Structure 1
Amino acid sequence: MMGWDQLAAFVVVVAALIVVPGPSVLFVVSRGVALGRRAAVSTAVGNEAGMLVQVLLVAVGLGGIVERSALVFSVLKFAGALYLVHLGVHAWRHRKELAVTPEQERTTRSSAQILREGFIVGVSNPKGFLIFTAVLPQFVSPDSGSVPVQLLALGLICVIIALISDAAWGVLAGTVRGWLGHSPRRLSFIGGASGAVMVGLGVKLAFSSRP
């Protein structure tokens, strides 16, 4: 089993990598500002559900394929980029719909839809695969038991840290939205800005080089 010192070092390294804003964090923030705290937390849960799928893939060995295959990595990256652009364009087109009452908001956007969108962004985020394929193996010891089980356990720790981090970012962003709620014009501007951020994230992700 991994010693407490090694586990603490792992948590510090992973937390530092996860807290740094990437596509998932900025997506959660944009949702928090545009749709509120509940939507931001739901997006974070969806993101981490997607990350959990990545953990399972890495634990059974498919993460190595992504790590070694430039084609598979590129397909995953572009799929996530296109989806971010799609969501950004949608947010821009419907930016004026943000100026609604909480009751209207609950009827116009379901939690299932928000979770699904967060899941797609999370499962297609290359940053997660890079962490799981480049960082996790450094803390795995064949002498400490089953390697897939160790990878799964360490991956679950990553998911928990990411959920706490993303949810905190989202709640903060949603709180700012509440402060802006007195001005429909400001909310419309924020909605358009969040859409532009998502499009920018998608473009940046599409043209980013592989480390």
Structure 2
Amino acid sequence: MHFAEYLPQLLLAWSIQAMGILSPGPSVALILGVATSRGRLPSVVAAFGVACGSIVLAVATVAGVTAILAQVAELMTVLRFAGAAYLAWLAWKAFRNAASTPKLVVGKVGHESVWRTGLAGFVLQISNPKAIMFWLAIASVGGVGDAPLPVVALFVVVAFVNSFLGHGGYALLLSSAPVRATYVRARRWIEAGLGCFFLFASFKLATARL
């Protein structure tokens, strides 16, 4: 087995994934909300949850599951509305935070469990059909699903690392002291803005033709 013969497909697949990570979407918005309101550790855990979701999508891509979903309209419709419902729930949480008046202290971590924060990132990643569209683009590259197990394992591991480094970078940046201090001063506007973004994303997802 020669890794070199699979390298072009792997590099192209990882490049497509990187493009998706660099295009801010619901996952980055979730990390923004967690980072500014609860601090660094919870936001990194949220990024870890998103990266774990990327493992599921990578394995599904290798197994051809994403391609099957694209061919079965009913399944995509169910997944689309599930993702829209989850985004609407995130919007409700953001609007609720905007309307509340907590005594937020910079550097203080919120009360929500770290486990639930990671789970939120994971669920958001695997329930977003737009993320699946990026993985469908990766699946169209071909060559990875038929590769030997070590190559497939390398593909999945690097996909996880890419996702964690990218979203973890967002978490570190957005949880920095200057950003959190800005959040304290403009918390209502930021939370309301996040709520509007999640609500708009939910509407677009629910009405999109995938």
- Superposed, 1:64-143 pairs within 5 Å as 64-95=67-98, 96-101=100-105, 105-106=109-110, 108-140=111-143
Q: CA RMSD in A?
A: 2.8
Deviation at 1:79, TM superposition (A): 0.5
Q: Tell whether 2:12 aligns with 1:12.
A: no
Deviation at 1:164, TM superposition (A): 1.1
Q: Tell whether 2:154 aligns with 1:179.
A: no
The AA in structure 1 aligned to 2:192 is: G
**Structure 2 residue aligned with 1:161:** 162
Contact 2:64 2:145 in 1 (8 A): no
Greater Cα offset, 88-97 or 71-80: 88-97
Give deviations 1:127-153, integer Å, cap 9, x for gaps. Answer: 33223333145251687535xx64453
Identity, % of aligned pairs?
A: 21
Q: TM-score, normalised by structure 1?
A: 0.80
Separation in 2, partners of 1:114, 1:137: 32
User: In the alignment, which of 29, 37, 41 is matched to residue 40 of structure 2?
Assistant: 37
Separation in 1, partners of 2:204, 2:145: 38
Separation in 2, partners of 1:181, 1:62: 40
Deviation at 1:94, TM superposition (A): 2.6
Structure 1 unaligned runs (5+)? Answer: none
Structure 2 unaligned runs (5+)? Answer: none
Aligned residues: 205
Contact 2:39 2:108 in 1 (8 A): no
**Structure 2 residue aligned with 1:209:** 209
